[in-house]
Amino acid sequence: MGKRYILGIGLSNRVENAAEFQKVLTECGCYIKTRLGLHEVSENLCSPGGLIILEVYGGDAAVAEMESKFKAVKGLQVQKMAFEM
């Protein structure tokens, strides 16, 4: 029986913080199984913030390292969920 991990990342000020966030995504790319990005958009609005949901692969140490890298980026909030499967 293993664990499945989901990282929820709240990104504020996408314009200012997106480049550093993308750098960490690239570094961790081999551990990301699924990536979903959500933000508000309409005819008159493109939200400065967003929510990213990542399904990640790896053991406890690998996931903790990814979580730490994301938390080091200014403007990010990170929440982790672990499911016993």
**Residue 42: its pLDDT value, please?**
77
**Residue 1: its pLDDT value, please?**
61
**CATH for the stretch 3-84:** 3.30.70.1150
Residues of the chain with pLDDT under 70: 1
* C-alpha span between 25 and 35 (Å, rounded): 10
Q: Which of 33, 37, 29 is nearest to 10 (CA)?
A: 37
**Residue 45: its pLDDT value, please?**
77
Q: Please name the residue ranges forming H helices in 1-85.
A: 14-27, 60-71
**pTM score:** 0.86
